[in-house]
Structure 1
Amino acid sequence: MSFLKIEALAKRYGNDGPPVFENIHFGIERGEFVCILGHSGCGKTTILNVLAGLDEASAGHVFMDGREVKGPSLDRGVVFQSHALMPWMTTLANVEFGVRSRWPEWKRERVAAHATKYLEMVGLAHALHKKPAELSGGMKQRVGIARAFAIEPKMLLLDEPFGALDALTRGTIQDELLFIVQATHQTVFMITHDVDEAILLADKILLMSNGPQAKIAEIVEVTMPRSRTRASIHHDPQYYRIRNHLVDFLVERSKLYAGDAVQGHDPKNPPVVRPGLVTDDAPAPNPEPITA
């Protein structure tokens, strides 16, 4: 069994309407970084909330590390688009709060040292004693990321954590996230609307059809080396093949999978696509980011 296993997940609001999504099947291996892409309304955030134990599915099961997910747990760290910091606490105290929740038996000095280590990893060693009102939006989000990593969860769940940030800040935090994930071998499930962000960060990208009755239509493997960076990714011909495949799905194919429109589609085994490995010449680069 995969480290995270989702079986026949479905969500319905009310008794009469169609399900937001249904027959959601996929797995995530330990240490894998998985992004999910799809148009608004397909249920991406609801899926993440079910994985976090913050919402209940109408049908199906979620298993993590061999145990069924039933409610919230410190084994799963969550970072939302909103930083959700406690405004009366300093940067350090916000992270220490999570650390004490995880290890209540630790001495104060050990808690402070552990929290400081993760704040240093996200470049906030100089802001340990500042309160959220004194921080920029990007700095607040770094605190949220440090707090999530500091509890050393088995899995990290990210709900568009960079969506409200400007492009330069977003890029900087992406680099920091990559550094921490690679240093800690963290398992990550992330929602994003940014195609370039998904290619940069993910090992696999789940593509969801449009809702209602949304499904996992394809699983795209990012075949570029894991050592890719924002500076180097555009020089790899695979990048444009993968990007074009994702954009084409979001613009054209995602609506074809609505309901049961595609004949022969097996929701239990969505096709795995490796668009970067094709041998034809890559199309001309398009430097403008495209979001869904």
Structure 2
Amino acid sequence: MSTSHIRIEGLRKTFPAPRGGVAVTVFDQVWFGIEKGEFVCLIGHSGCGKTTLLNILAGLDESSGGGIVVNGKEITGPSLDRAVIFQHHALLPWLTVMGNVAFAVRSRHSGWDNAKVRAHCQKYIDLVHLTGSEMKKPSQLSGGMKQRVGIARALAIEPDILLMDEPFSALDALTRGSLQDELVSICAATQQTSFMITHDIDEAILLADKIVLMSNGPEARVCEIVENTLPKGRTRKDMHRHPHYYPMRNHLLEFLVNRANSFKTELSDPGYDPMHPPVTRPGVGQPAARPIDAPGDPLPEAKTAGR
């Protein structure tokens, strides 16, 4: 991890006690790395500090201990090298699609003339398939279109790191799936270093190169790091047919249902080192799964996963 593009090192966040109360340490001794061009998802239950950790990485909040190092420099505040896509679009309602994207671009390139800014914005508006909607204001857009503007705005400043806090959670299933596909294509084309918080197991399997599992708070820690054993180029339509899909999905489901809450008992294991969380590769070395469209009863894994 010492050579990783992003290094989260011994991170701790404690919220001060209210009058007469007790201070709460949401997470402690959080260690993991993110490589250049890697897509990392973080999964954990509410209250483990996922959004707080992302805000610290974005420079919008401060840690109570430890630190985050990017490209060899410790984060001390916000930077245009780190763009954030929030759960809600956070668009400026009085600006058009073009105006919202241009607002971000001008903050990055203050010396550009209007024609250059417009051409640069158009490239990213086209990238998220909003061509023809440049002059529309947020009130004229659907929820999915607003999130597309947020993605275009974030990408248009050409950040070194893209941070996403459950950006598709408020959308309907069809829109969410469409935007996931767009994000897969964009990240594959740009080799964008990305960090996303999600509660959606299938979203993590589709998008992530590796998945960081956080135990429940308070004093949450990294339970383990799961390497995605499904091949690159997977899609929502076919990933469930890969023999590693159900081992991967069931491993993540088992974590959320059971291990996230009971993980503190594993801390006493002499093999657990918070600086080097266990790395797992579900499906590797296991018997190949039967294709789900084969005749016969459903797979036991499918029943377990509620599919």
For the aligned pair, the TM-score class normalised by the smaller chain equals over 0.9
Say whether 1:279 aligns with 2:286. yes
1:9 to 8, 11, 15: 11
CA drift of 1:66 comes to 1.1
Segments of structure 2 that go 5 or more residues without pairing to the other structure are 290-298
Mapped partners of 2:268, 2:98: distance in 1: 51
Distance 1:211 1:227, change over 3 A: same
**Contact preservation (8 Å) 1:218, 1:270:** yes
1:168-198 residue CA offsets vs partner (Å, 9 max, x unmatched): 0000000111111111110000000000000
1:104-143 paired onto structure 2 within 5 Å: 104-143=110-149
1:70-81 paired onto structure 2 within 5 Å: 70-81=76-87
1:136-195 residue CA offsets vs partner (Å, 9 max, x unmatched): 000000000000000000000000000000000000000111111111110000000000
Say whether 1:151 aligns with 2:153. no
Q: Tell me the SS of whatever aligns to 1:278.
A: coil
Structure 1 match to 2:180: 174
1:215-235 residue CA offsets vs partner (Å, 9 max, x unmatched): 001000001111111111111
Say whether 1:218 aligns with 2:204. no
Number of positions where the alignment pairs a residue of Structure 1 with one of Structure 2:
290
**Contact preservation (8 Å) 1:213, 1:259:** no
Q: Which amino acid aligns with 2:13?
A: K
1:1-292 paired onto structure 2 within 5 Å: 1-14=3-16, 16-258=22-264, 261-264=267-270, 265-282=272-289, 283-284=299-300, 286=302
Bigger CA radius of gyration: 2
**Which TM-score applies when normalising by structure 1?**
0.96
**Which TM-score applies when normalising by structure 2?**
0.91
Pairwise CA RMSD: 1.6
Mapped partners of 1:29, 1:287: distance in 2: 35
Q: Tell me the SS of whatever aligns to 1:19.
A: strand
Distance 1:68 1:223, change over 3 A: same
Mapped partners of 1:269, 1:18: distance in 2: 25
Percent of aligned pairs with the same residue?
Answer: 57
Distance 1:258 1:65, change over 3 A: same
